[in-house]
Amino acid sequence: MKNLVLVLNCGSSSIKFSVLDPNNEVVYLNGEASALNLDSSSIIWNTKNNKKISVCKKFMSHNYAIEYLCKEILLEKNSLLFSKIIGFGHRVVNGGINFKKSVLIDNLVIKKLEKCIFLAPIHNPLNLMGIKKFIKLFPKLHNKNVAVFDTSFHYKIPKMSYLYAIPKEFYYKYSIRKYGAHGISCNYILQKSSKIFKKNIKCLNVIICHLGNGSSVSVVKNGVCIDTSMGFTPTDGLIMGTRSGDIDPSIIFYMNENLGISIKDIKNILNNKSGILALNGKSSDFRHSENKYYSSEIDKLTITMFCYRLAKYISSYFFLIKNKIDAIIFTGGIGTNSSLARKITIHYLNSLNFYIDNKKNQKKCLDFNFINKNDTIPILVISTNEEIVIAKDTFNLVS
Ligand code: AMP
């Protein structure tokens, strides 16, 4: 046990953490503070010998959870493990145009990150908070913090797909363009597919559907991402847990000018009160509607809309790589676990020679599964592992 990396992923309602060896991928400790700021908040973590520990505390804040992780879990209860940590890898959702690859964090990087907050208003402030807390709480390792960006994967997207058709100064002066997200997951999926297909990454042509609380679909041609559904911010594209995805921008003007809703409230509506939650009226958790798909019209419509929008994106991306396509790949909490979402989505794509084998589709995915019918285009389910990607980048930069 040496040269370990701690990976921190500060999200809107949860903080995921793990301590792992990036070289052999052994995980020594992992856990999650979840339902933050709610009365059901808790921190649960496991150690390598499978000792599961949980602490429940109502209305736990992000601040409290990080302090608990650093002081109680790391310094107090796992001090030996902590002494082996050589770096901290932080997931950062949007690095804007400044960051094309992972970086060691210093004051200048923090300043640049502060300027990117508007690009992922739900995520970036929390990512930054985690970074600042770690620098403060572990001063001896202050120069061993690394930022790994979800946007780096997409930086080679060609201009024709990242530009918006708006006056050009908004791009040249204000950097308004498509940035994408979920790049860390896509990176892992690409590396994994390269092993599965025994093909060099540079020869891979895949459509990656990362479907979770946030969802996006990306198309990769010859190992390079050429388009993705998320845009300037992660509000764009597919229907998500609480985010609207694509809408006509005039809806925003109408809400503001005719309905008197403030821009701040509209931002909150589109990011936190829309998507699956708005459609079923009950829960942003996909499982809620999935369980009621056959008994409730509202939930059936929710799932159908989610899959229909996804199928529209997949079919438009398919034409960019159709002669060379290796696979459609499903990943993320929904992509990995929901056989229903996969079945309905692929049903819309039958005419493009995508067919699901229902039996294979029902199998639980522990690592990866092929779920297509024989002699049709491969459809893969892969469990993503963003931690490995973050840990490897961190190791490479700090060592
Ligand atoms: P993620 O953001 O990747 O952690 O995924 C979270 C989403 O995955 C939530 O909407 C969950 O409802 C969904 N999810 C997790 N497990 C399942 C499952 N067994 N079936 C359907 N959706 C699931």
Q: Tell me, yes or no, whether 94 lies in a domain.
A: yes
Residues 229 and 360 in one domain: yes
Give me ligand 1 centre to Cα 352, in Å.
Answer: 27
Residue range of the domain that includes 66: 4-149
Q: Tell me, yes or no, whether 396 lies in a domain.
A: no
Q: What are the pLDDT tens digits along the chain (399 aa)? A: 789 999 999 987 789 999 999 999 999 999 999 988 888 899 999 987 777 888 888 899 999 999 999 999 999 999 999 999 999 999 999 998 889 999 999 999 999 999 988 888 888 999 999 999 999 999 999 999 999 999 999 999 999 999 999 999 999 999 999 999 999 999 999 999 999 999 999 999 999 999 999 999 999 999 999 999 999 999 999 999 999 999 999 999 999 999 999 999 999 999 999 999 999 999 999 999 999 999 999 999 999 999 999 999 999 999 999 989 999 999 999 999 999 999 999 999 999 999 999 999 999 999 999 999 999 999 999 999 999 999 999 999 998
Predicted confidence at residue 345, as pLDDT, reads 98
Predicted confidence at residue 210, as pLDDT, reads 98
Pairing type for strands 379-382 and 224-228 reads unpaired
For residue 124, what are the CA distances in angstroms to 109, 149, 218? 13, 10, 21
Residues 247 and 103 in one domain: no
To test the ligand 1 pocket, which listed residue (123, 238, 286, 307) has its Cβ within 8 A of the most ligand atoms?
Answer: 286
The answer to whether the beta carbons of residues 6 and 66 sit under 8 Å apart is no
Residues 313 and 382 in one domain: yes
Residues 132 and 208 in one domain: no
The answer to whether the beta carbons of residues 58 and 41 sit under 8 Å apart is yes
Residues 377 and 285 in one domain: yes
Q: Among 116, 149, 182, identify where a domain stops.
A: 149
Q: Tell me, yes or no, whether 296 lies in a domain.
A: yes
CA distance 13 to 40: 11
Strand (E) positions, the chain?
Answer: 4-10, 15-20, 27-34, 42-47, 52-56, 85-92, 103-104, 145-149, 206-211, 215-221, 224-228, 327-331, 368-370, 379-382
Residues 315 and 211 in one domain: yes
Q: Which of 39, 150, 299, 326 is catalytic?
A: 150
Residue 185, token pair as written in the block: 């997951």
How many domains does one find in the chain?
2
Question: Could you tell me the pTM of the whole model?
Answer: 0.93
Residues 22 and 84 in one domain: yes
Residues 122 and 223 in one domain: no
Residues 138 and 21 in one domain: yes
Give me ligand 1 centre to Cα 266, in Å.
Answer: 26
To test the ligand 1 pocket, which listed residue (334, 336, 344, 364) has its Cβ within 8 A of the most ligand atoms?
Answer: 334
Q: Tell me, yes or no, whether 84 lies in a domain.
A: yes
Q: Tell me, yes or no, whether 116 lies in a domain.
A: yes
Q: Tell me, yes or no, whether 157 lies in a domain.
A: no
Predicted confidence at residue 389, as pLDDT, reads 97
Q: Tell me, yes or no, whether 88 lies in a domain.
A: yes
To test the ligand 1 pocket, which listed residue (189, 287, 340) has its Cβ within 8 A of the most ligand atoms?
Answer: 287
Residues 110 and 258 in one domain: no
Q: Provide the CATH number for the domain around residue 78.
A: 3.30.420.40
Give me ligand 1 centre to Cα 332, in Å.
Answer: 7
Q: Among 149, 184, 217, identify where a domain stops.
A: 149
CA distance 188 to 160: 26
Predicted confidence at residue 11, as pLDDT, reads 81
Q: Among 111, 134, 149, identify where a domain stops.
A: 149
Residues 122 and 232 in one domain: no
* Active-site residue flag, 150: yes
Q: Tell me, yes or no, whether 310 lies in a domain.
A: yes
Provide residues with CB under 6 Å of ligand 1: 212-213, 241, 285-287, 290, 332-334, 337-338
Predicted confidence at residue 260, as pLDDT, reads 98
Give me ligand 1 centre to Cα 137, in Å.
Answer: 33
Tell me whether residue 330 is exposed, middle or buried, using C-beta atoms within 10 angstroms of its C-beta: 0 to 12, 13 to 18, 19 or more: buried
Residue 354, token pair as written in the block: 């995508």
Residues 295 and 376 in one domain: yes
